[in-house]
Amino acid sequence: MTYQTRVETVQLSDYLKNLENASETPNLGYTHQGLEDEMVRQQTIEGSSKWIRESVTTSNNDILNQISYITERVETNKDCLHYLAGITSMEDIYSDVAAFNAKRALRLIMENFDNKFWRRKLSGPINRCWQNLGRYSELATIHLKNAADFHQFYYDARHLEVKLNDRHKKFLYNRERFAEMNHEYYTNTSKELRDWLRSQFDHLNYMVNRSKQLVEQSKSLVPIYLRTNRIRSPVNGVMLCDYETPKVKLTAGERIIIIDNMAGGVESKQKLIHRTQVNQENDITSDESQNLTSDILDTCETDIDSGSKTEEIDDRSTDSNSYLRYPTPRISTMPYWNFGRGESSGTTSTDQTTSTFTENVSPLGQSSSKLHWHIKSIDGKVEALVPSVCVWIPSPDLEAQEKAIKLYKVILDNWNYIIDEQLKICLQFFTILLQQLIESEGLTTDDDEAFKRFLNNLVFSLTEPPTAEAENFNKEFLRLIDTTREHWNKTKTSGSRISGGIHLRRTDIAVFQSLLDWNKAHMRTIKQYEQENIVPLDLSQKLNDLQEQSFHMIETVTLVNDLAQKDKKKLDSLLNQLRIWNKQTKDKNQFNIYPLSSSSDDEWLSSSGSEYINSESTYESIDETDSSYLVHTKQSRKF
């Protein structure tokens, strides 16, 4: 029996087209495994195109250009996948937490029966402990959303900046192209110019509206960098949940002051211990105080000895390109109970069991200094270390607002410059057009009324170039318009077309008029945006408004907490009060978009009233002096 192998041949052009389509439609999913699968697909496309490049002996430029295009698209897709993996790679953290919860529960129920805690009923405390952890889990979701909103805002702002830069480069290229274009074929040139003006308007109008949306988004951003960078001075905060110890009791919605957000070190804890000793109640003996001090110092020493392991849960790597690589398996740092191997019958003592769970060590690594914050109450009577997840830093982030407003201003200035240049280009085009009409043997039209209106509009639209003074007019251009009108009237008097003359169709006149209309649309729209700039609030008024907004937020959090604990009979009244406060806060905190003209803006503190250390700017503002952003002063225009 003989077997025949059937080989199916495919045209090289068709195969390259399939690769091109695959490179243009990447599957940018939202799960880490999905991104890894797509990375394999992109690598396959890259390998195929590389093999074709090495195998093809022909010097066909079309094939080589197509392969180069595919390679470039694949590189962009891979870069996008790596960037998204910076988010999806954190999936393991939540899986680790879920696994650890189960392992910790198993370990607790397998403790030796000789331990004394089995003889005391702990059902109530156990239930309250797990409920408290559940509350922390919900609060972690709030902080996750704050981080997501912060990242989304700065990515969108940077993306808009890149689009503005690309748009400006295209404008400079087209400006040179129209300047060198042969305007003898005025019909084709006018259509290209019309499409260009329309495209410019659509893109610039979109970017201005998008930047306005970013300004609105910046008002609700939480300054999350204050959670990771050490604060230089106290910061206002709010408790998100109840927190209670034998010496401290804080309630949800209570205003607090964050003294130190890196309070896990020995030095910080010693300072807190000293304050605790000074402010202790009279009924606490000195022996108990000494025991408290020694216990906390022992905890601090445990933190130092255990070594830092927080990098394993913060980031897999500082390089975003490593998120989709396959690292070697990590050794779990969490306590582990090998269920079913007889450890339950071990001889672990009570002391050993207690020390295992009372060490100030995070299950996912050492308890870093960022996990507990040093806070005190507004009246200064309460001072304690609390889990950072329980504390919320109020919005907004003034730095984000400043950068959004600056981006908005740069886009408007850029649009003003583009309008000036577009008017110059149109003036040059119509000057050449009128000269051609005058030099012709005769001038006739399909629609005399439309042509008459066009000449009148031309007088009021382009006789005053952007670079002229208000009292000066382009007298040469006015003379060309008058001469064209006389030449046209003279031809109409003859009553017939003249051989060698120019005849303008109705569509030609409509295209000419559309050039003036699009220039008017540009100027009218930019004027509307500029009129939205109301007199800016001074810095003190801004800070007062932010403080008032913070007070309303605190009252709202308190009401939400009461709503969950008190009678449902008060539900309607509480909701009505919330609506009233929400409306008042919205009305009083409508920040208007305005130019950054005051140098004092650079001296703004963070939204919570504090500067921070060792934090690079997350978003670099556009440099208005850069050659890619030629910002001109606003010129007077008449239309």
The reported pLDDT for the residue numbered 606 is: 36
Query: pLDDT-derived band of residue 595, with 50, 70 and 90 as boundaries?
Result: very low
Identify whether residues 151 and 247 lie together within a single domain: no
Write out the residue range of the structural domain in which residue 230 sits: 224-306+366-394
Residue 100 lies in a domain: no
Q: Which residue has the higher pLDDT, 283 or 385?
A: 385
Residue 51 lies in a domain: yes
User: 123: exposed, middle or buried (C-beta count within 10 Å: 0-12, 13-18, 19+)?
Assistant: exposed
CB–CB of 402/596 below 8 Å? yes
> Using N-to-C axis directions, what is the helix angle for 186-218 and 398-439, rounded to 10°?
170
Q: What one-letter code names the amino acid at 634?
A: K
pLDDT, tens only, 387-436: 989 998 887 888 888 899 999 999 999 999 999 889 888 888 888 888 88
Name the percent of the chain lying above pLDDT 90: 17
pLDDT, tens only, 310-350: 333 334 333 444 555 433 333 333 332 233 333 333 333 33
The helix (H) or strand (E) run that includes residue 596 is none
Give the other-Cβ count within 10 Å of 269's Cβ.
22
Identify whether residues 155 and 300 lie together within a single domain: no
Residue 101 lies in a domain: no
The three-state secondary structure class of 251 is coil
- Domain count across the chain: 4
Residue 77 lies in a domain: yes
Identify whether residues 616 and 490 lie together within a single domain: yes
Identify whether residues 433 and 456 lie together within a single domain: yes
Identify whether residues 520 and 386 lie together within a single domain: no
Helices and strands in the chain: count of H runs, count of E runs: 16, 11
Residue 442 lies in a domain: yes
Identify the CATH number of the domain in which residue 258 sits.
2.30.30.40
Angle made by CA atoms 405, 141, 607, in degrees to the nearest 5: 30
Q: How far is it, in rounded angstroms, from Cα 531 to Cα 528?
A: 5
Identify whether residues 505 and 578 lie together within a single domain: no
